[in-house]
């Protein structure tokens, strides 16, 4: 038995009856358990429990549900395996928060999450009009959502997209304040007002080319999904941007198309029916519909760079009708981390534009503009992750 469990056997943690202020009593009880001070998603377990409780209160949930949130994982869950309070101590917890709150907390601790989410999805699929969900399932749903959203800011990018589809479908079953927080986190229906900076640049053998830098172009939920993809095991080392590059390569992940930048064969079908890269297909459709009508994708891939892996100056195509879209998919970036995409004049004698790799930013430009990706600085702890979609438009 660990120290946290052994401590529960001492009289100091026992309450003969709930104190008049149930919140104060519950917090005092939890603070007296050493196990609540362990690390949990880059904070302490106690801070996480309090955060879930605060969300449920802010959403207007009833008291028993809020107190269930305060104790929602103390017996351990399928993902958080540590048993901070032994199941044998359930009567003691009941004395502090009440039988209904304790029973709900215990039910959440023993929940089969996958089966529960599937059950809610099935209810939504068979739902007639605005039929209410079973109150018990509603309580567990609000616990699940509060638990997920409380941890969300501290999650790795690869985790943040895990339940996006479910949360999108389940919003109608949530209290209004909870549904609003889900919407604010993932932006399913938030209207976007892209900020577009457009310039004409001198380009290789073709007069001028167009460079566009767009922010707030990609919906928030899709940004989370694309960042999550970059955190998956998709990378191979050894890629180079130009034939002049003979060392200091970078990471690469191929999604569709071949290695011919001058080709014009539509490769979109290679992205279909592949759940792993479905966010990339959604990104392409967004670019096609709003930025590049009449274009077809000819190459789709991702590049990943760490310190020292600069790309050499190159153009993507010397034929008309070819364009490149770069999407910065890393979830965060600091100005001191470098990693800009630089654009050069036709003689490669001067930098004429630069795109800072702001997360969620999209850069769209003519394929005959010379450019180079600068690697992150020595201070950068992250992977500079860029999704590249090269397109061809016969009418351009």
Alpha helices in 246-329 (DSSP H): 278-290
The end-to-end CA distance of the chain, in Å, is 72
- Residue with more model confidence, 217 or 196: 217
pLDDT band at residue 320 using 50, 70 and 90 as cut-offs: confident
- Determine the pLDDT at residue 9: 39
Q: What is the average pLDDT score of the chain?
A: 89
CA angle 335, 250, 326 (to 5 degrees): 60
How many CB atoms are closer than 10 A to CB 265? Answer: 12
pLDDT band of residue 394 (cuts 50, 70, 90) is: confident
CB 35 within 8 A of CB 82: yes
Per-residue confidence (pLDDT) for residue 2, from 0 to 100: 41
Report, as an integer, the average pLDDT of 272-278: 96
SS3 sequence of 148-206? HHHHHHHCCHHHHCCCHHHHHHHHHHCCHHHHHHHHHHHCCCCCCCCEEEEEEEECCCC
Cβ atoms of 385 and 330 within 8 Å: the answer is yes
Q: What are 110-127's pLDDT values in tens digits?
A: 999 999 999 999 999 998
pLDDT at 5: 42
Higher pLDDT, residue 196 or 375: 375
- Calpha distance 69→56 (Å, rounded): 7
C-beta separation of 44 from 38 below 8 A: yes
Distance CA 291, CA 166 (A): 29
Whether 269 contacts 330, CB under 8 Å:
no
Per-residue pLDDT reduced to its tens digit, 346-366: 899 999 999 999 999 999 999
Look at residue 134 and give its three-state secondary structure. Answer: coil
Average pLDDT over residues 304-333: 92
Q: What is the pLDDT of residue 81?
A: 80
Residue 390 contacts residue 293 (beta carbons within 8 Å): no
More confident residue, 318 or 337: 337
Eight-class DSSP state of 271? G
- Report helix angle 99-109 to 63-70, nearest 10: 50
Q: Is the pTM of this model over 0.85?
A: no
pLDDT value of residue 321:
92
pLDDT at 101 over 80: yes
Q: DSSP label at 255? A: E
Angle between helices 63-70 and 45-58 (to 10 degrees): 160
Report DSSP letters for 218-239, one per residue. S-HHHHHHHHHHHTSS--EEEE
- pLDDT of 11 > 50? The answer is no
Query: What percent of the chain lies above the pLDDT cut of 70?
Result: 93
Instruction: Assess whether pLDDT exceeds 80 at residue 7.
Output: no
Q: Say if residue 234's pLDDT is above 90.
A: yes
Q: Give the pLDDT confidence of 12-54 residue by residue, as tens digits.
A: 333 334 445 899 999 999 999 998 888 888 899 999 999 999 9
Whole-number pLDDT of residue 148: 96
Sign of CA dihedral 15, 18, 20, 25: positive
Residues ≥6 apart with Cβ < 8 Å to 395: 294, 321
Q: Residue 125: which H helix or E strand, with range? A: helix 113-126
In tens, the pLDDT along 150-207 reads: 999 999 888 889 999 999 999 999 999 999 999 999 999 878 777 888 787 777 655 6
> Which residues contact residue 66 at a Cβ distance below 8 angstroms, ignoring those fewer than 6 apart?
53, 56, 57, 101
Phi, psi of 344 (to 5 degrees): -120, 160
| pLDDT reported for residue 205 | 59
Report which secondary-structure segment, H or E, holds 215: strand 208-215
How far is it, in rounded angstroms, from Cα 60 to Cα 49? 17
Task: Write out 85-116 in H/E/C secondary structure.
Answer: CCHHHHHHHHHHHCHHHHHHHHHHHCCCHHHH
| Percent of the chain clearing pLDDT 90 (strictly above) | 72
**pLDDT at 80 > cutoff 80:** yes
């Amino acid at each position: 038995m660990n120290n946290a469990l052994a401590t529960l056997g001492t009289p100091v943690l026992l309450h003969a009856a709930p104190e008049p202020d149930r919140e104060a009593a519950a917090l005092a009880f939890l603070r007296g358990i050493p196990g609540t001070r362990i690390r949990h998603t880059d904070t302490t377990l106690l801070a996480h429990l309090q955060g879930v409780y605060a969300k449920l209160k802010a959403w207007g949930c009833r008291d028993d549900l809020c107190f269930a949130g305060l104790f929602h994982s103390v017996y351990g869950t399928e993902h958080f395996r540590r048993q901070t309070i032994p199941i044998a101590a359930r009567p003691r917890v009941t004395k502090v928060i009440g039988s209904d709150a304790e029973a709900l907390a215990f039910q959440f601790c023993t929940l089969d999450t996958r089966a529960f989410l599937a059950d809610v999805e099935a209810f939504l699929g068979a739902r007639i009009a605005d039929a209410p969900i079973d109150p018990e399932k509603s309580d567990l749903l609000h616990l699940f959502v509060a638990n997920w959203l409380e941890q969300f800011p501290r999650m790795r990018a690869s985790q943040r997209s895990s339940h996006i589809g479910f949360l999108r479908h389940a919003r109608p079953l949530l209290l209004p304040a909870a549904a609003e927080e889900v919407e604010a986190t993932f932006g399913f229906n938030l209207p976007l007002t892209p900020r577009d900076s457009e310039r004409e640049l001198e380009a290789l053998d073709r007069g001028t080319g167009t460079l566009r830098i767009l922010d707030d172009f990609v919906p928030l939920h899709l940004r989370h999904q694309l960042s999550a993809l970059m955190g998956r095991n998709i990378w191979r080392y050894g890629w180079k941007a130009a034939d002049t590059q003979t060392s200091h390569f970078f990471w690469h992940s191929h999604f569709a198309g071949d290695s011919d930048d001058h080709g014009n064969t539509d490769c979109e079908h290679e992205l279909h029916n592949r759940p792993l890269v479905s966010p990339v297909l959604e990104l392409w459709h967004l670019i096609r519909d709003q930025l590049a009508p009449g274009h077809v994708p000819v190459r789709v891939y991702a590049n990943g760079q760490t310190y020292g892996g600069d790309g050499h100056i190159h153009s993507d195509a010397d034929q008309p009708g070819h364009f490149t879209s770069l999407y910065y998919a890393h979830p965060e970036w600091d100005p001191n981390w470098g990693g800009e995409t630089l654009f050069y004049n036709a003689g490669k004698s001067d930098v004429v534009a630069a795109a800072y790799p702001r997360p969620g930013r999209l850069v769209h430009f003519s394929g005959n503009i010379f450019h180079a990706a600068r690697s992150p600085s020595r201070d950068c702890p992250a992977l500079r992750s860029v999704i590249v979609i090269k397109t061809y438009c016969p009418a351009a």
